[in-house]
Each structure stands twice: as structure tokens, then as C-alpha cells.
Amino acid sequence: MASSPIQAVPSDVEREKLSREELLALLRDVTEQRDNLLTKYESMALQVDESVREIAADELDAQQSEKKAEASEHRAEQEAAHVAELSSRLDEERRKRAEIADEFARFREAAKHAPVEDPWGVLWRAASQIVSDWVAWTRAKFPPDSAFLPWFDRMVELVKALSCLAFKGAKALFDWAKPRVIDLWNRLKSERRRQ
């Protein structure tokens, strides 16, 4: 017996079943494709992220290198300026030293050929000139607004007054002792001759 036509023609339920299975298969395929696309997207995102990090690191390194180069150039300019300043100071000191040496040479020459009437006066003037130069040089080393300048000036005045008194006392002692020493020396020589 032939099969019934109802069984041969698929019912709506069977068609619906087939459609669900096809739909499920399609859904599985779409889900699989979606997962594949997400995986590819994630790997691409990781590669892009790594590339961005590398580019950012390279840019940061380039910026740091540029800053270091600028700092080195600035430091080199400062050092060159400092060297130039020190060189000019050294030249100035050499010039001053040469002037002082010339001044001393002129003084020695003048002292050599000058008639000496008062040797103590000449000695006092020479010593006071040398000491005055040293005091002026030392005073120039203090800043103009230093609190030590008035004390330094007072100390210089005190030392000047004491040295003047000491010089006058030594001169008076020498003037007093000179004839006595000469007299004593003559007596000793005459005593020696007698013996």
C-alpha cells in the first residue's frame, strides 16, 4: 500500500523543525564567525596597542634625548662662558701682577739712586707703602655691604697706631743705644790692645 499523502508532505511542524535546525545551524555559523572576528579583532587590538606603546616609547626616548642634548648644549655654553670669565680674570691678575712688578722695579731703582739722609724715614715709608698696598688688596676682597668692613677698618687703624708707636719707640731706643754701643765697642777694642 502506498503511503498516505499526509505523511509524504511534510507538515508545518516538520517544516518549522527544519527551519529551527537550519536557523540553529546558521546561528552557530554566525556565532562562530563572530567569535573568529572577535579573536582577530582582539589580536589586532593587541598589535595596535603594542605598536602604540612602541611608538610612544620611541617618542618619549626621542624627547628625552632631545632634552638631554639641549641640557648638554646649555651646560657646554655655561662652561664656555665660565672658562672665558676665568680666562679674563687670569689675564687681569697677570696684568696687575706685571704692573706691581714694574712698580717694585721702579721703587728699587729709585731707592738705589736716592740719597739717604734719613734711613729710618725711608724704611718707614717703604714699609708703610707695602703694608698699605696689602691692606687695600685685602679690603677689596670684602663685599661693599659686608658687616665686617667697619671692624676691618678699625683693626687697621689700631694696628697702624700701634706700629707707629712701636717704630718711634724702636727709633728712640736705637738713637739712645747707638752711642753707648759704640763707646762700649771702643772700650773693648782698647782693652784688647792693652792685653
Residues 99 and 36 in one domain: yes
pLDDT < 70: residue spans in the chain: 1-18, 111, 114-116
Question: What are the backbone angles phi and psi of residue 9, rounded to the nearest 5°?
Answer: -85, 125
Q: Out of 89, 114, 139, pick the residue that ends a domain.
A: 114
Q: What is the pLDDT of residue 17?
A: 63
Residues 36 and 109 in one domain: yes
Q: Distance between CA 177 and CA 170 in Å, rounded?
A: 10
Q: Number of folded domains in the chain? A: 2
Residue 95 one-letter amino acid: R
Q: What is the pLDDT of residues 64-99, one digit of tens each?
A: 888 888 888 889 899 989 899 988 988 988 998 888
Q: What is the pLDDT of residue 4?
A: 46
**Could you please report the per-residue DSSP string of the chain?**
-PPPHHHHSPPHHHHHHHHHHHHHHHHHHHHHHHHHHHHHHHHHHHHHHHHHHHHHHHHHHHHHHHHHHHHHHHHHHHHHHHHHHHHHHHHHHHHHHHHHHHHHHHHHHHHHHS--S-HHHHHHHHHHHHHHHHHHHHHHTS-TT-TTHHHHHHHHHHHHHHHHHHHHHHHHHHHHHHHHHHHHHHHHHHHHHH-
Which of 132, 140, 133, 141 shows the shortest CA–CA distance to 159?
Answer: 132
Q: Distance between CA 2 and CA 6 in Å, rounded?
A: 11
Residues 97 and 123 in one domain: no
Q: What is the pLDDT of residue 1?
A: 44
Q: Structural domain of residue 65, as residue ranges?
A: 11-114
5: in domain? no
Residues 134 and 54 in one domain: no
CA angle 81, 87, 91 (to 5 degrees): 145
4: in domain? no
Q: Out of 114, 132, 165, pick the residue that ends a domain.
A: 114
Residues 171 and 90 in one domain: no
Q: Out of 62, 83, 114, pick the residue that ends a domain.
A: 114
6: in domain? no
Residues 143 and 167 in one domain: yes
Residues 70 and 123 in one domain: no
Residue 63 one-letter amino acid: Q
31: in domain? yes
Residues 105 and 150 in one domain: no
- How many residues comprise the chain? 195
74: in domain? yes
Q: What is the pLDDT of residue 6?
A: 44
